[in-house]
Amino acid sequence: VKHTVEVLDATTKEQLCFLDKVDPHSTIGDIKSLFYKSYPQWYPARQALRLDTRGKSLRDDEVLQNLPVGTTATMYFKDLGPQLGWTTVFFAEYIGVLLTYLVFFFRVPYIYSHTYALTSSPHPVVKLACVCHTFHYVKRLMETIFVHRFSHGTMPLRTIVKNCAYYWGFSAWLAYYINHPLYTPPCKSSHLNSRLLICEFLLSNLRTDGFRVRRFPTPTKNPFTWLFFFVSCPNYTYEVGAWLSFTVMTQCLPVAIYTLFGFIQMTIWAKVKHRAYLREFKDYPTVRMAIIPLIL
């Protein structure tokens, strides 16, 4: 039995589109594509379809016949605004952070006193901090371009602007103080520097074997994945470890604040993923925590 789908504007309740003879096995993504043919200015990534004006947006993979609707379905449309793909999002964030830090490291004129313009810091820890920071974000850029495979998900342009302002702003703030002519280096702590590099190495090697069927990640023969025995999101654990080491290495307050904010946000993300694993997989290991082994 074919279905009919009526699409109304979520704000005005005005009918925008009436789709006849829709296959019941069609997904929300298919319906968005049909809607797009009538309204080319609203490509699928801009569309949010709901069964209620204030309800939750339907996922693209949800099937029409599985929804709580009859043979005639009424959906409400909302324009999400301009969207950008995740590759573009991460590239914009990382390249901005990388270049912002280097501007302060090379002491571009008009940042500090003209006496120090285009000079370099005499302290080895400042140069090492630049190397570590640059390596971290160059690695992320390379992973974004060559390693990660993103879904068709997108992010609203306005959110990207806020994210870039956050990351670029923090990068400028901590770089300003680390590269300041009056910066006082901490005591020598090469072992902390090595811990930072170890966390970066672990983070870059944290990849489990690929799989086609959906299941939760598990440790493999690769020792760098063994943290999966204890936490659901070891990538966040290693990330926090790297920034904690960077904080101790530089002993700079802005870095500590950035690390704290990052830890709070990553903990939120890790808990969401951890709860999703527990709901979806009945055999999910109960010993695992979200981000910190045995604690959190």
The answer to whether residues 106 and 130 touch, using CB atoms and an 8 Å cutoff, is: no
Phi, psi of 72 (to 5 degrees): -115, 115
In this structure, the answer to whether residues 200 and 116 fall within a common structural domain is no
In this structure, the answer to whether residues 191 and 233 fall within a common structural domain is yes
Predicted confidence at residue 176, as pLDDT, reads: 96
Predicted confidence at residue 210, as pLDDT, reads: 45
Contact residues for 192 (Cβ-Cβ < 8 A; gap 6+): 245, 248, 249
In this structure, the answer to whether residues 129 and 234 fall within a common structural domain is no
In this predicted structure, the answer to whether residue 173 has a pLDDT above a threshold of 50 is yes
- pLDDT range class, residue 243, cuts 50, 70, 90: very high
Beta-strand ranges (E) seen in 64-218 are: 72-79, 83-85, 154-156
Over residues 232-246, the mean pLDDT reads 90
Calculate what percentage of the chain has a pLDDT beyond 90.
56
Of the candidates 141, 161, 184, which is a domain's last residue? Answer: 184
In this predicted structure, the answer to whether residue 5 has a pLDDT above a threshold of 60 is yes
Calculate what percentage of the chain has a pLDDT beyond 70.
89
3-state secondary structure (DSSP) of residue 90: helix
Distance from C-alpha of 76 to C-alpha of 7, rounded to nearest angstrom = 6
In this predicted structure, the answer to whether residue 189 has a pLDDT above a threshold of 70 is no
| 101-107 long-range Cβ contacts below 8 angstroms, 24+ apart | 101/130, 101/133, 101/134, 101/137, 101/171, 101/172, 101/175, 102/130, 102/134, 103/172, 103/175, 104/172, 104/175, 104/176, 104/178, 104/179, 105/130, 105/175, 105/179, 107/179, 107/181
Predicted confidence at residue 225, as pLDDT, reads: 78
Distance from C-alpha of 143 to C-alpha of 64, rounded to nearest angstrom = 36
Q: Which domain holds residue 14?
A: 3-81
Q: Is the pTM of this model over 0.75?
A: yes
Q: Count the domains in the chain.
A: 3
Tens of pLDDT, residue by residue over 210-234, are 444 457 778 888 777 778 889 999 8
Predicted confidence at residue 213, as pLDDT, reads: 44
In this structure, the answer to whether residues 159 and 198 fall within a common structural domain is no
In this predicted structure, the answer to whether residue 51 has a pLDDT above a threshold of 70 is yes
Tens of pLDDT, residue by residue over 115-154, are 999 898 999 999 999 999 999 999 999 888 887 666 657 8
In this structure, the answer to whether residues 36 and 117 fall within a common structural domain is no
Of the candidates 127, 160, 184, which is a domain's last residue? Answer: 184
Give the orientation angle of helix 86-105 with respect to helix 157-178, to 10 degrees: 20
Over residues 87-107, the mean pLDDT reads 94
The answer to whether residues 158 and 81 touch, using CB atoms and an 8 Å cutoff, is: yes
